[in-house]
C-alpha cells in the first residue's frame, strides 16, 4: 500500500508547524525535504548571522539552532512513522509536546559560505525519547558541524 496519500496531509502539518515558529523565520530556516529518513533544512547566509566579523563566518548560535531545529524535525517525522494510524488531532497534540532534552554540537570548521544545509536522521525513536544525529555543510559540501540531540516525544 502506498503511504504517500495518507502521509501528505500529515507532512503538510509538520511543514506548517515548522514555518510558524518565529525564531525559525528570524533565522531564515527553510525546510527543503521532509524525507522521514533524512530531512534537510537550508539556511542562506546574511550579515545578521555573522559571528566572527573578521572572517565573516556564521555565528555558532545559529549553527546550534539550525542543528537543533533539524533534530526536532527528525523527532516529528519519527512520531509520524511510529504512529501511522494516529488521528491528525492527536498527532498535533503530541507535536505540541515535542521539545529538546539535550543537544551537543561539535564545531569542526568555521561556517564560511553563502548557503548551508543541515540534515538529520534518527539514531533511535522510542515511546518517550528520540535521539538524533545532525550534520551541517556549506554549499561546497564542507562539513562544519555535527550534533546529537535528545527530544521528548511523549
Nine cell digits for residue 46:
546574511
Phi, psi of 137 (to 5 degrees): -125, 155
Which pLDDT band, with edges at 50, 70 and 90, does 152 fall under? very high
C-alpha cell at 93: 497534540
State the average pLDDT over residues 120-149: 97
Would you place residue 1 in the very low, low, confident or very high pLDDT band (cuts 50, 70, 90)?
very low
Q: How confident is the model at residue 89 (pLDDT cuts 50, 70, 90)?
A: confident
Q: How far apart are CA 65 and CA 60, in angstroms?
A: 9
What the chain holds in terms of domains, given with CATH numbers, is 4-152 (3.10.129.10)
Number of Cα atoms under 13 Å in the Cβ half of residue 25: 8
pLDDT of residue 3: 56
pLDDT tens digits for 94-118?
888 999 999 999 999 999 999 999 9
Minimal CA–CA distance to 134: which of 57, 49, 94, 74?
Answer: 74
- In DSSP terms, which residues pair with 133 in a beta bridge? 121, 148
DSSP 101-129: EEEEEEE-S---SSEEEEEEEEEEE-SSE
Question: How many angstroms separate the first and last alpha carbons of the chain?
Answer: 28
* pLDDT single digits (tens) 40-85: 999 999 999 999 999 999 999 999 999 999 999 999 999 888 887 7
Amino acid at each position: 500500500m502506498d503511504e504517500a496519500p495518507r502521509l501528505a496531509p500529515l507532512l503538510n502539518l509538520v511543514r506548517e508547524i515548522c514555518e510558524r515558529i518565529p525564531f525559525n523565520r528570524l533565522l531564515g530556516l527553510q525546510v527543503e525535504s521532509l524525507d522521514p529518513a533524512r530531512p534537510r533544512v537550508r539556511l542562506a547566509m546574511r550579515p545578521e548571522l555573522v559571528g566572527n566579523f573578521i572572517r565573516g563566518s556564521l555565528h555558532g548560535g545559529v549553527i546550534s539552532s539550525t542543528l537543533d531545529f533539524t533534530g526536532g524535525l527528525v523527532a516529528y517525522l519519527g512520531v509520524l512513522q511510529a504512529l501511522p494510524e494516529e488521528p491528525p488531532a492527536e498527532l498535533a497534540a503530541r507535536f505540541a509536546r515535542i521539545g529538546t532534552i539535550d543537544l551537543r554540537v561539535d564545531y569542526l570548521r568555521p561556517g564560511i559560505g553563502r548557503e548551508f544545509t543541515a540534515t538529520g536522521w534518527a539514531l533511535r525513536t522510542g515511546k518517550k525519547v528520540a535521539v538524533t544525529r545532525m550534520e551541517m555543510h556549506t554549499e561546497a559540501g564542507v562539513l562544519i558541524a555535527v550534533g546529537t540531540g535528545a527530544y521528548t516525544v511523549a
